[in-house]
C-alpha cells in the first residue's frame, strides 16, 4: 500500500514540480530550469544542457514530463521529433555525442516506423514490442532516479546529524598476549626439522617426551650444589611407569653430563648432584 | 539485577558509547564487562531503552544504526552544530547517487547491470569513490565471461544514512508488468487507429498503481 | 531570557560540545548563535552550570580545561572504557614458535643448542617474551664456558595448550610429515581473517527481495 503512494508521486502526470525543484543546470550561476523552447540553443548552454542529463533515458523522461505525458502513453512521434531535434542541434555544433544517445535515436526511429506499418506486422511479431520495451526501461530508470533522490534526502551524518563523543579519562594501559594454536607450534617445529635435516640427518630420535620433561624437573630439583638422595627422585604414587621415566631421565642427564652420581661405598646410598648450576 | 545495578550498567554503556565515538553493538558493549558482571542481552536491551529515554529533552539522542548504537546530535540542532565545521558537507552527483541507489536496492549487482538500467556507462571514478567511502564493496564475481565484480552495500553505508537495515530504505516505486504494458499499448494503438488521434482522456485510468 | 529559551540554548551547547570532540570556549559557543539569538556571557555561564548539573549520575561529566569546556567520560569508568582501545595482540613470529617448539621437545636446552638446530641466532627478545609469558623457565646452567642457561617448559605452558604432560605432544618422528597440520592451519587462519573482516556477515540479510 505504501508503494502506491510512492508511485503516485513518481507519476509523470504531476511532473511540473520536478523541473522547478531540480534545476537542469547552472549557466554562469543562474539556474537553468527550463530549456529554451525554440531550437536555437547557444552552444554553451547546449553543452551544459547535455551534462545535465544522466543519459538518453533521463533526457527522454524530461521530454515526456515537459509534454505532461504519462510514460505509459507516450506520443512516440512527438517525443521522437523532439529528441531528434536536440540530437541534431548537438551534432550540428559537432559536439562529441555519447553513443548511448545515438542508439536511443535509432530505437525511437524504429518504434516510430513500426507504428506507421499496418497492424498485422505487430501481431505476427513474437519478440518484445520495442515500444513496450522502451516503456519498461523508462519506468525502471525512473524508479531508481527517484530512489537516488530519496537517498539524497535521508538524514545523513555530517550534514543532518553529528556523532556524539566525549573526552577520555586517564586510561590504564592494557596489554594482551597473542593466542597460539598448538598446531601452529607443531608446524613451526616441522619447519625447523626440515631445515635441520639439511645439516644433520640423525638429529631426530624416537624419544619419549616425558623423559625430557622429567630431565627438566630433576634439574630444577637439584637447584644447589647439595647432594640429593637418588631415591628421593622417585615417588610411589607415580607407579612403575613413573619410576622408569625418572630412571631414563637420570641416565640421559648423566650422558649429557648434567649430573654426577656418587656412591661412597658398595651397596651404600647413591647420591646425585647437579653438574650444571643455577 | 536490581535498580542500582542497572544504573551502573547504564552509566558504563553511556561512557563507552561516548568514548567510542562510533556505533557499538550490544555484544560489543556486553564484552566490556568481566564475565561475572556481564549483563544478559535482555538486561542490555532494557538499559538501552532507559538510555534512550534519558536523552529526552536533550540536545542529543541515542540511535540504532546498522552496526550498533550511537549518540548523535538531534537533527533539529544540526544548523548550529554544523557551524563548528568549516567544510561544507559534501554533495554527491546524481550519477553517484543513482549508482548507489541501484547497488542498494538491487544488490548484488554488476557494473554492466547498472549500466543497463541507467542507459549510460558508469564512470570508474564513481565506483572508486563508493569503494573508498566504504559504502559498497565487492561481494563476488558473476560467473559470466569477464567475471565482473558484484557490488553490495556495507554497514557503513547504512550507518552514514542513519539506517539500521536495508528495510528502512524508502520503498521503491512499483513497476508495471511488461505483458500488461504490452496489452495497454495494444489498446492504445487500437484506439489511435480508430480515432486517428492520440487520446488524452485515457490518461487518468492509465495512472500507475 | 525565559526558562524555555535557556533550555534551548542549553540543548544547542550540549549538542555542540558532543559533536566538537575538543574543548570549546564560551565565546566560541556563543558564536554558534545568530546575532539576534546570541546569549550574553552571563547567560552562558548559567547554562554551563545547568549543564554540569545535568550530568550528575551519568557516565560523563562537563569539565573545564584551559581552552574551554568539554564532556569527558568519568574517571571511574576508565577500566571498562579502556577495553575499547585494547590493541589486538599481534601474532607471534615464526622464530618464536620454532624456539618454543624446540624447548618443548629438546628440554633442557640452551640457547646455543637451539641456534645450532635452527641454523640462525635466537634473539634475546624471543627468550624474554617466552619467559614473561611464563611458558619457559631456566632450570639450570650448563657447566661449559659461559655457563649458558638451560630452558624447559612450565606447567603454564602445558595448561595453555591443554596438555596433561608433554607426552601428549606427537613424537618428533610423526611431526616430520605432518602435511595435514599445515593444511588445517591454513584453513584456521583463513577462517579467522574472514571472521575479522567487519561487514562480511551482512551479505545475506541485506539482500533485498
Query: pLDDT per residue over B92-142, tens digit each?
Result: 999 999 999 999 999 999 999 999 999 999 999 999 999 999 999 999 999
Does B18 sit within 8 Å of C59, measured CB to CB? yes
Distance from the first to the final alpha carbon of chain C: 54
Cβ-contact B66, B104 below 8 angstroms: no
Q: What is the largest CA-CA distance in chain B?
A: 84
Asked if residue B78 is part of any domain, the answer here is no
Chain C residue nearest residue A162, CA to CA: C19
Pair (C56, C148) in one structural domain? no
Pair (C149, C195) in one structural domain? yes
Question: How far apart (Å, rounded) are the C-alpha atoms in residues B40 and B51?
Answer: 16
What's the DSSP call for residue B107?
-
Query: Average pLDDT of chain A?
Result: 75
How far is the alpha carbon of B50 from chain A, nearest alpha carbon, in Å? 18
Residues in contact with B2: Cβ distance below 8 Å, sequence separation at least 6, in sequence order: none
* Partner residue facing C18 (CB), from B10, B11, B73: B73
Asked if residue B125 is part of any domain, the answer here is yes
Does B80 sit within 8 Å of C33, measured CB to CB? yes
> Which of B67, B157, B170, B173 is the mutation pick for testing A, counting most A CBs within 10 A?
B173
Question: How far apart (Å, rounded) are the C-alpha atoms in residues C86 and C189?
Answer: 21
> Which of A58, A105, A144 is the mutation pick for testing B, counting most B CBs within 10 A?
A144
Note the pTM of the prediction, 2 decimals: 0.64
Higher pLDDT among residues A228 and A16, named by residue = A228
Q: How far is CA C205 from CA A161, B136, B151, C195, in A?
A: 26, 15, 15, 17
Q: Which of C25, C43, C73 is the last residue before a domain boundary?
A: C73
Residue B13's domain is classified under what CATH number? 1.10.10.10
* Partner residue facing B84 (CB), from C16, C71, C80: C16
How far is the alpha carbon of C43 from chain A, nearest alpha carbon, in Å? 24
Question: How far apart (Å, rounded) are the C-alpha atoms in residues B168 and B158?
Answer: 9
Confidence of residue A46 (pLDDT cuts 50, 70, 90): low
Q: Give the tens place of pLDDT for each residue, B131-151.
A: 999 999 999 999 999 999 999
Q: Which of A194, A185, A186, A173 is nearest to C92 (CA)?
A: A185
Asked if residue C170 is part of any domain, the answer here is yes
Residues of chain B contacting C, Cβ within 8 Å: 7, 10-16, 18-21, 31-33, 54, 57-60, 66-67, 71, 73-74, 77, 80-81, 83-84, 105-108, 137, 139, 152-156, 165-166
Q: Give the tens place of pLDDT for each residue, A215-234.
A: 888 888 887 778 888 888 88
Q: Which residues of B touch A11 (CB under 8 A)?
A: 207-208
ipTM above 0.85, yes or no: no
Q: Which of A133, C38, C99 is nearest to B119 (CA)?
A: A133
Asked if residue C82 is part of any domain, the answer here is no
Q: How far is CA A108 from CA A143, B85, B189, in A?
A: 21, 50, 16
Does C143 sit within 8 Å of A166, measured CB to CB? no
What's the DSSP call for residue A44?
H
Pair (C100, C167) in one structural domain? yes
Question: How far apart (Å, rounded) are the C-alpha atoms in residues B203 and B205?
Answer: 6
Pair (B110, B35) in one structural domain? no
Does B15 sit within 8 Å of C207, measured CB to CB? no
Q: Which of B20, B38, B73 is the last residue before a domain boundary?
A: B73
Q: How far is CA B178 from CA A6, A56, A139, B209, C143, in A?
A: 20, 21, 10, 14, 92
Chain B residue nearest residue A8, CA to CA: B208
CA atoms within 13 A on the CB side of C185: 14
Pair (B106, B193) in one structural domain? yes
Pair (C32, C106) in one structural domain? no
Does C11 sit within 8 Å of B59, measured CB to CB? yes
* Partner residue facing C77 (CB), from B15, B31, B105: B15
Chain A residue nearest residue B22, CA to CA: A163
Pair (C42, C144) in one structural domain? no
Asked if residue B88 is part of any domain, the answer here is no
Q: How far is CA B85 from CA A158, A198, A247, B80, C11, in A?
A: 9, 65, 78, 10, 18
Q: Give the tens place of pLDDT for each residue, C18-70.
A: 999 889 999 999 999 999 889 999 999 999 999 999 999 999 999 999 889 99
Composition of chain B by helix, strand, coil, percent to 5? 55, 10, 35
Confidence of residue A201 (pLDDT cuts 50, 70, 90): very low
Asked if residue C27 is part of any domain, the answer here is yes
Chain B residue nearest residue C31, CA to CA: B83
Chain C residue nearest residue A181, CA to CA: C161
Does B78 sit within 8 Å of A162, measured CB to CB? yes
Q: Which of B39, B73, B107 is the last residue before a domain boundary?
A: B73
Pair (B196, B146) in one structural domain? yes
Q: Give the tens place of pLDDT for each residue, C86-143.
A: 777 778 899 999 999 999 998 899 999 999 888 889 999 999 999 999 999 999 888 8
Question: How far apart (Å, rounded) are the C-alpha atoms in residues C129 and A236?
Answer: 37
In the three-class reduction of DSSP (H, G, I as helix; E, B as strand; rest coil), residue B34 is classed as: coil
* Partner residue facing B105 (CB), from C21, C31, C208: C208
Pair (B128, B193) in one structural domain? yes
The boundaries of the domain holding residue B45 are 3-73
Our count of domains for chain C comes to 2
For C106-123, letters b (16+ CB in 10 Å) and e give: bbbbbbebbeebbeeebe
A154-183 average pLDDT score: 84
Pair (B63, B101) in one structural domain? no
Q: Chains near C, with 3+ CB pairs < 8 A?
A: A, B
* Partner residue facing C82 (CB), from A171, A195, A199: A171
Asked if residue C187 is part of any domain, the answer here is yes
Pair (C69, C98) in one structural domain? no
> Which of C172, C174, C183, C208 is the mutation pick for testing A, counting most A CBs within 10 A?
C172
In the three-class reduction of DSSP (H, G, I as helix; E, B as strand; rest coil), residue B180 is classed as: helix
Residues of chain C contacting B, Cβ within 8 Å: 7, 10-16, 18-21, 31-33, 54, 57-60, 71, 73-74, 77, 80-81, 83-84, 198-199, 202-203, 205-208
Question: How far apart (Å, rounded) are the C-alpha atoms in residues A57 and A12?
Answer: 14
Instruction: Output A20-25 pairs: Cβ under 8 A, ≥24 positions apart.
Output: A24/A49, A24/A52, A24/A62, A25/A49, A25/A51, A25/A52
Q: How many helices, marked H, and strands, marked E, lie in chain A? A: 11, 5
Pair (C38, C138) in one structural domain? no
Higher pLDDT among residues B16 and C182, named by residue = B16
How many angstroms from the chain centroid is the CA of residue A76? Answer: 44
Asked if residue B84 is part of any domain, the answer here is no
Amino acid at each position: 500500500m505504501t508503494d502506491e503512494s510512492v508511485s503516485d508521486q513518481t507519476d509523470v502526470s504531476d511532473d511540473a514540480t520536478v523541473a522547478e525543484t531540480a534545476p537542469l543546470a547552472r549557466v554562469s550561476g543562474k539556474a537553468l530550469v527550463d530549456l529554451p523552447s525554440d531550437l536555437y540553443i547557444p552552444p554553451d548552454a547546449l553543452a551544459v544542457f547535455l551534462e545535465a542529463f544522466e543519459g538518453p533515458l533521463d533526457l527522454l523522461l524530461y521530454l515526456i514530463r515537459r509534454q505532461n505525458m504519462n510514460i505509459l502513453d507516450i506520443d512516440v512521434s512527438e517525443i521522437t521529433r523532439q529528441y531528434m531535434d536536440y540530437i541534431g542541434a548537438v551534432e550540428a555544433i559537432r559536439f562529441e555525442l555519447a553513443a548511448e544517445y545515438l542508439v536511443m535515436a535509432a530505437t525511437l526511429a524504429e518504434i516510430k516506423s513500426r507504428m506507421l506499418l499496418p497492424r498485422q506486422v505487430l501481431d505476427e511479431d513474437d519478440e518484445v514490442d520495442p515500444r513496450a520495451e522502451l516503456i519498461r526501461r523508462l519506468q525502471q530508470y525512473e524508479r531508481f532516479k527517484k530512489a537516488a533522490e530519496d537517498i539524497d534526502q535521508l538524514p545523513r551524518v555530517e550534514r543532518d546529524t553529528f556523532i556524539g563523543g566525549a573526552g577520555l579519562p586517564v586510561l590504564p594501559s592494557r596489554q594482551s598476549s597473542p593466542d597460539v594454536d598448538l598446531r601452529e607450534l607443531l608446524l613451526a617445529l616441522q619447519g625447523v626439522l626440515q631445515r635441520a635435516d639439511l645439516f644433520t640427518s640423525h638429529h631426530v630420535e624416537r624419544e619419549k617426551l616425558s623423559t625430557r620433561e622429567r630431565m627438566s624437573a630433576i634439574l630444577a630439583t637439584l637447584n644447589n650444589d647439595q647432594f640429593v638422595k637418588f631415591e628421593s627422585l622417585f615417588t610411589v604414587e607415580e607407579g612403575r611407569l613413573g619410576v622408569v621415566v625418572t630412571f631414563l631421565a637420570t641416565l640421559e642427564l648423566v650422558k649429557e653430563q648434567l649430573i654426577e652420581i656418587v656412591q661412597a661405598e658398595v651397596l651404600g646410598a647413591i647420591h646425585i648432584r647437579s653438574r650444571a648450576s643455577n | 539485577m536490581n535498580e542500582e545495578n542497572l544504573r551502573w550498567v547504564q552509566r558504563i554503556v553511556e561512557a563507552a558509547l561516548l568514548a567510542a565515538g562510533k556505533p557499538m553493538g550490544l555484544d560489543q558493549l556486553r564484552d566490556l564487562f568481566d564475565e561475572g558482571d556481564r549483563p544478559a542481552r535482555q538486561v542490555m536491551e532494557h538499559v538501552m531503552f532507559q538510555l534512550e529515554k534519558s536523552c529526552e529533552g536533550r540536545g542529543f539522542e541515542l540511535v540504532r544504526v546498522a552496526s550498533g548504537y550511537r549518540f548523535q546530535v538531534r537533527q533539529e540542532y544540526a544548523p548550529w552544530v554544523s557551524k563548528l565545521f568549516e567544510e561544507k558537507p559534501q554533495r554527491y552527483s546524481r550519477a553517484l547517487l543513482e549508482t548507489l541507489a541501484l547497488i542498494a536496492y538491487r544488490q548484488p549487482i554488476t557494473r554492466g547491470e547498472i549500466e543497463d538500467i541507467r542507459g549510460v556507462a558508469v564512470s570508474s571514478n564513481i565506483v572508486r569513490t563508493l569503494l573508498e567511502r566504504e559504502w559498497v564493496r565487492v561481494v563476488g564475481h558473476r560467473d559470466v565471461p569477464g567475471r565482473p565484480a558484484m557490488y553490495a552495500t556495507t554497514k557503513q553505508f547504512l550507518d552514514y544514512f542513519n539506517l539500521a537495515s536495508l528495510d528502512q530504505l524508502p520503498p521503491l516505486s512499483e513497476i508495471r508488468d511488461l505483458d500488461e504494458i504490452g496489452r495497454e499499448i495494444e489498446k492504445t494503438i487500437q484506439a489511435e487507429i480508430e480515432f486517428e488521434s492520440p487520446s488524452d482522456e485515457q490518461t487518468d485510468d492509465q495512472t500507475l498503481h
